Amino acid sequence: MMKFLLMMLMMIPLSLLKNFYWINQFMFFALSFFFILNMSVDWTFLNVYGMFGWDLLSYVLVLLSMWICSLMVLASVKIKKESFYCEFFCLVVLSLLIALFFAFSSLNFFVFYLFFEISLIPTLILILGWGYQPERIQAGAYLLFYTLFASLPMLIAIFYLVDIFDSLFLSFFDYPIDSLILFFCVNLVFLIKLPMYFIHLWLPKAHVEAPVSGSMILAGIMLKLGGYGMLRMMKLFVGVLSCMNYIFIGISVLGGVFISFLCLRQTDVKSLIAYSSVAHMGLVLGGIITFTYWGFCGALVMMVAHGLSSSALFCLANITYERVGSRSLFLNKGMINLMPSMALWWFLFSACNMAAPPSLNLLGEIMLINSLVNWSFLNMLGLAFMSFFSACYSLYLFSCSQHGKFSNNLYNFNSNSLREFLLLFLHWLPLNFLILKGELISLFI
Amino acid sequence: MSYLYKNLFIITLMTGTLISISSESWLGVWIGLEMNLLSIIPLMNNSKDLKSTEASLKYFIVQAMASMILLMGFLINTIKINLPNNLLLENLPSSIITTSLMIKTGAAPFHFWFPEVMEGLNWMNALIMLTWQKIAPMTIIMYTHSNEILITTVIMFSVITGGLMGINQTSLRKIMSYSSINHIGWMMAALLFTETLWKWYFLIYSAMNMAIIWMLSKFNISSIPQLMAMSKNNPKMKTFFMFNFFSLGGLPPFIGFLPKWLTIQVMVLNEMYLTGAMMIIITLITLYFYMRITMPLITLSSSSSSLNLSNQQFKSKNMMSLNSILLTGLLFSTMAFNWI
């Protein structure tokens, strides 16, 4: 615990040095690799220090955040090339990583809340500071106020929980509290973060306006904070959810179908990917709400898989954005003519996004579909539509961007660099190889 | 031109406050408040600036009226209980006295003079107004044990007015005064329960105000567009400034979250859930207008401004260290509580 904390703290002065961008990059990757060596297994909290420690759930998500943060630095070389506050950028990414590290590994609910909130500010700075359009101000305000509006009632709920349990340690929340108000106070912010279908509006805005690093961290980790919080707090609300889980499962499955329809008529690449993550996270929410073993484990697998695949899709969108200067699917056509090798990556990640076989998304989707169908056979209808249309919009994304005639507006064009292939490969490798030993990252209870 | 007399009046200003918060009879309280009032008037006045004279006049009238109401309140009390040298209060006079002290602090239904007066002051006087002038009235409100409904009403009024009225302002003095009204609501909630809580809230609030106003007064900024001029040349100051406003809004990694956290905890333990929830959600509106202030700074855009007030690179070790201590204060205090 301490070694990683100290390593990250010592990286703060490193990030402020000029021309140390690649050294920072190296340290981020070194951190992730060191962290792999400290694997935690199943439900026991290992490496406990103070009020921090990891069971498998925390471990996997901390590892994911380290990995995504490393890849964020790798993806944002444009900031270094233009030297647009690039030291500050490193510092923001690092502080985001520290906040996420603490949020995922805290054993105390209040500390989790604290770092959950702290992670908001670096994200806000990332979106507002390095975003492209003036609309990013609105997007930032949406992000901040959607989250804060729901997270402040959670603060009150936390102190209420102290009163009941005399402690905020997550393991001590051992008997259910059947209060609907408390359920909403605690979980509304997680539902917003996740995001649940009706309260997802901040997400496409934030994604569209964010720079590539902002989109990656949002899709990769920030949404998982919601899922993580729900997985941790669910045992308090067994009673509440046993009488109203049908509402949430209905919203998540039907919402997933509607969002899939919505994806099919997006013209903005980033917006399409953002909406597709709403659909996937809807599935995660449904799995958590069913209260089944399959559902909980599948939620974790799906979160990891979605974190990697949608982050990779945002990278791809940015790679073409840097060349074409637009996110529109009408201008981003025919890329297979210009970047033939990149078309392979587009295909691989579209396939992952639709949960095609060798990907972790498949494992997650199988587990979640199992849990949801087990809950009610009626879900089969919604899930069938959702799976089918997720394939549809993934193929739509692939074929629209890669095939067809490329736009005549393109005046000059540079082909892909090795860095970009490495970036995508490092997304793809864990996504498609972790399924070979799926129990290692899924069975956390 | 000697400003030596200002030193004298600073001393009497402080003495007045100390007399009123430590006296044992209502007459002493009243005398202290009057001393305090009479010594801030010459501090505010500046012969070259008519606005400050106007402000001091307004301030004098309002405060004198409030003092009179206070005097009336404790005279009624004396007639009723026949013990002149005592802090005991009957129900009615207690409400009268509390109301008069609310006027003196500028809590919400009685706040109308406050932004007007602030508009005419220079930044250092504004700082005195926002911080030191709150000590005496609020401490005495703590002594009056007035009924909870009155205080809760004032809390809600203050929080809502502070939030809503600040939205469309461009003058930073007005914004600071509305934010102060909002914080007065929180401080009232704190002093409803424990004195220590109020002290913490007040100290941290004063420190945050000091950090912000120090910068504003150094760069001579009084409206939002002028902030661009500062941000252009001083990226570090800009970052600190931004974080200070987040801190004032009560976002977690900064010290401003600490008093809110403590207040909410005490409120929940005393079963004031609804008031606490309302306060905390309405305070988001203040956070929104703080965010509007910091927006030109946080977008990292460095477009030049026509208002080029300060060209020089500004560096002050004191200001930097004050800011860094303040902003990281929450982490250090949390660590101090948990690891030592």
Task: Answer whether residue B339 shows pLDDT above 60.
Answer: no
Q: Tell me, what amino acid is at A90?
A: C
Would you say residue B132 lies in a domain? no
Q: Residue A268's closest CA among A141, A400, A411?
A: A400
Contact between chains at A159 and B265 (C-beta distance less than 8 A): yes
- Looking at the structure, tell me whether residues B152 and B227 fall in a common domain: yes
- Looking at the structure, tell me whether residues B165 and B298 fall in a common domain: yes
Q: Report pLDDT for A192.
A: 94
Closest-approach residue (CA) in chain A for B258:
A114
- Looking at the structure, tell me whether residues B67 and B199 fall in a common domain: no
Q: Report pLDDT for B306.
A: 47
Poorest-pLDDT segment among A125-129, A314-318, B249-253: B249-253
Last residue of a domain, one of B98, B118, B138: B118
Distance CA B236, CA B220 (A): 17
Distance CA A93, CA A117 (A): 15
Q: Residue A87's closest CA among A7, A10, A22?
A: A22
Contact between chains at B251 and A117 (C-beta distance less than 8 A): yes
Who among A84, A159, A163 is closest to B264 (CB)? A159
- Looking at the structure, tell me whether residues B41 and B155 fall in a common domain: no
Percent of chain A with pLDDT over 70: 100
Distance CA A410, CA A226 (A): 41
Pull the structure tokens for residue A358.
Answer: 């060798």
Distance CA A21, CA A26 (A): 9
Q: How confident is the model at residue B313 (pLDDT cuts 50, 70, 90)?
A: low
pLDDT in tens, A133-189: 889 999 999 999 999 999 988 999 999 998 888 888 888 888 888 889 999 999 999
Give the number of C-alpha atoms closer than 13 A to the C-alpha of residue B300, restricted to the C-beta side.
18
Reply yes or no: is the peptide bond before residue A195 cis, omega within 30 of 0: yes
- Looking at the structure, tell me whether residues B161 and B288 fall in a common domain: yes
Poorest-pLDDT segment among A376-380, A441-445, B68-72, B178-182: A441-445
Q: Report pLDDT for B317.
A: 81
CB-based contact, A152 to chain B, within 8 Å: yes
Interface mutation vs chain A, best among B300, B302, B332, B338, most A CBs within 10 Å? B300
Would you say residue B189 lies in a domain? yes
Contact between chains at B288 and A121 (C-beta distance less than 8 A): no
Distance CA A242, CA A237 (A): 8
CA distances from A66 to B7, B199, B261 (A): 57, 41, 30
Contact between chains at A149 and B284 (C-beta distance less than 8 A): yes
Mean pLDDT over the full length of chain B = 86
pLDDT in tens, B87-144: 667 778 888 999 999 999 999 899 999 999 999 999 999 999 999 999 999 999 988 8
What is the least distance, in Å, from the CA of A114 to any CA of chain B? 6
Contact between chains at A50 and B339 (C-beta distance less than 8 A): yes
Which residue range forms the structural domain that includes residue B223? 147-340
What is the least distance, in Å, from the CA of B298 to any CA of chain A? 6
Four-residue CA torsion sign, A341, A342, A348, A351: negative
Closest-approach residue (CA) in chain B for A49:
B339
Contact between chains at B251 and A141 (C-beta distance less than 8 A): no
Q: How confident is the model at residue A258 (pLDDT cuts 50, 70, 90)?
A: very high
Q: Do B61 and B68 contact (CB within 8 A), yes or no? A: no
Q: How confident is the model at residue B340 (pLDDT cuts 50, 70, 90)?
A: very low
Pull the structure tokens for residue B212.
Answer: 């912000």
Task: Answer whether residue A408 shows pLDDT above 60.
Answer: yes
Last residue of a domain, one of B102, B118, B134: B118
A-B contacts (CB, under 8 Å): 69
Taking CB atoms and an 8 Å cutoff, what residues of chain A touch B286?
none
Q: Report pLDDT for B87.
A: 66
- Looking at the structure, tell me whether residues B164 and B56 fall in a common domain: no
pLDDT in tens, A75-124: 999 999 988 888 899 999 999 999 999 999 999 899 899 999 999 999 99
Distance CA B183, CA B286 (A): 10
Contact between chains at A118 and B252 (C-beta distance less than 8 A): yes
Task: Answer whether residue A361 shows pLDDT above 80.
Answer: yes
CA distances from B152 to B180, B189, B273 (A): 17, 7, 12
Last residue of a domain, one of B67, B101, B118: B118
Would you say residue B97 lies in a domain? yes
Distance CA A270, CA A329 (A): 10
Who among B281, B300, B339 is closest to A149 (CB)? B281
How many CB atoms lie under 10 A from the CB of residue B108? 25
Q: Report pLDDT for A310.
A: 95
- Looking at the structure, tell me whether residues B185 and B58 fall in a common domain: no
- Looking at the structure, tell me whether residues B108 and B154 fall in a common domain: no
CA distances from A434 to A34, A305, A360, A430, B111 (A): 18, 9, 7, 5, 63
Would you say residue B47 lies in a domain? yes
Tally of domains in chain B: 2
Q: DSSP letters of A204-270? A: HHHHHHS-HHHHHHIIIIIHHHHHHHHHHHGGG-HHHHHHHHHHHHHHHHHHHHHHHHHHHT--BHH
- Looking at the structure, tell me whether residues B108 and B152 fall in a common domain: no
Q: Do A191 and A220 contact (CB within 8 A), yes or no? A: no
Q: Report pLDDT for A394.
A: 95
Mean pLDDT of B299-312: 55
Task: Answer whether residue B297 shows pLDDT above 90.
Answer: no
pLDDT in tens, A23-69: 999 999 999 999 999 887 777 888 888 788 898 999 999 999 999 99
CB-based contact, A103 to chain B, within 8 Å: no
DSSP state of A436: G
Taking CB atoms and an 8 Å cutoff, what residues of chain B touch A165?
none
Who among A129, A144, A156 is closest to B277 (CB)? A156
Phi and psi at A44, nearest 5°, equal -80, 140
- Looking at the structure, tell me whether residues B64 and B200 fall in a common domain: no
Task: Answer whether residue B236 shows pLDDT above 80.
Answer: no
Distance CA A341, CA A333 (A): 15
Distance CA B264, CA B287 (A): 17
Q: How confident is the model at residue A416 (pLDDT cuts 50, 70, 90)?
A: confident
Task: Answer whether residue A10 shows pLDDT above 80.
Answer: yes
Would you say residue B142 lies in a domain? no
Would you say residue B139 lies in a domain? no
Q: Report pLDDT for B305.
A: 47
What is the least distance, in Å, from the CA of A411 to any CA of chain B? 28
Per residue in A387-404, is it b (16+ CB within 10 Å) or e — as a string? bebbbbbbebbbebbbeb
Q: Residue A15: exposed, middle, or buried by beta-carbon count in 10 A (0-12, 13-18, 19+)?
A: buried
Q: How confident is the model at residue B296 (pLDDT cuts 50, 70, 90)?
A: confident
Task: Answer whether residue B336 shows pLDDT above 80.
Answer: no
Distance CA A197, CA A188 (A): 12
Would you say residue B198 lies in a domain? yes
Task: Answer whether residue B214 shows pLDDT above 60.
Answer: yes
Distance CA A98, CA A100 (A): 5
pLDDT in tens, B154-195: 999 999 999 999 998 999 999 999 999 999 999 999 998 888
* Contacts with B, A 157-216, CB within 8 Å: 159-160, 162-163
Per residue in B317-334, is it b (16+ CB within 10 Å) or e — as a string? eebeebbeebbebbeeeb
Distance CA A391, CA A356 (A): 9
Task: Answer whether residue B84 shows pLDDT above 80.
Answer: no
Pull the structure tokens for residue A240.
Answer: 């509440």
Mean pLDDT of A325-336: 89
- Looking at the structure, tell me whether residues B54 and B178 fall in a common domain: no
Contact between chains at A156 and B251 (C-beta distance less than 8 A): no
Residues 6+ apart with CB under 8 A from B79: none
- Looking at the structure, tell me whether residues B153 and B108 fall in a common domain: no
Q: Report pLDDT for B146.
A: 74
Q: Report pLDDT for B85.
A: 60
Closest-approach residue (CA) in chain B for A89:
B300
Q: How confident is the model at residue B303 (pLDDT cuts 50, 70, 90)?
A: low
Would you say residue B80 lies in a domain? yes
